[in-house]
Structure 1
Amino acid sequence: MHCCRVMGGATTSAPPSAGSDSGSNMLWFYTDDAPGLKISPTVVLIMTLCFIAFVAALHIFGKIYRAKAGAGL
């Protein structure tokens, strides 16, 4: 069985408590040692809105195609 290895070897610390002022924000878990894709929340929002618009366009095109295909019968 293949075992995954943590890159960097740095230890993780506990999240800061809600009352502390040193670095307490919602994005404390974004660190340089964290593996994976690092994208900003703005990019995620834009990608989400584009996906919703694409799905809505597919629904509209599907209804138009079905209406034209049904009218030819």
Structure 2
Amino acid sequence: MALGGTAPPRGSAAATANMRRRRTTSGGASGGAAGNMLQFYTDDAPGLKISPNVVLVMSIGFIAFVAVLHVMGKLYFVRREA
């Protein structure tokens, strides 16, 4: 599909060029997806560099924080009722 949202007419030179370009960049059924996924794990990838261990600790910390807030809310509600 072209950038404008409409495909060129079938059999035209533009359609042939579009298909030729599409085949060379895809790299097969899983090759293109694997190339994109590997980009996240290289040093060239843009964005914040965080190790998986840091993400795990932050996730567990967030879950614990929400659980503590939940318990504090329950205790506060019980004290207000009495």
For structure 1, list consecutive stretches of 5 or more residues without a partner in the other structure.
1-13, 17-26
Equivalent AA in structure 2 for residue 47 of structure 1: M
Question: Which of 1 and 2 has higher RCO (CA within 8 Å, sep 6+)?
Answer: 1
Per the TM alignment, residue 55 of structure 1 is displaced from its structure 2 partner at its CA by 0.2
- Find the structure with the greater CA-based Rg: 2
CA RMSD after TM alignment: 1.7
Unmatched runs of 5 consecutive residues or more in structure 2: 1-31
When the two structures are superposed, what TM-score results if normalisation uses the length of structure 2? Answer: 0.52
1:35 aligns with 2:46: yes
Q: What is the TM-score when the length of structure 1 is the normalising length?
A: 0.58
Shift of 1:31: 1.4
1:45 to 56, 61, 67: 56
How many residue pairs are counted as aligned between the two chains?
Answer: 48
Q: Deviations over 1:18-43 (max 9, x none)?
A: xxxxxxxxx84311211101111000
Secondary structure, counterpart of 2:49 in structure 1: coil
Paired position in structure 2 for 1:22: none
What residue identity is the alignment partner of 2:81?
G
State the 4+ residue runs in structure 1 displaced beyond 3 angstroms.
Answer: none
Q: Which has the higher helix share?
A: 2
Percent of aligned pairs with the same amino acid: 58
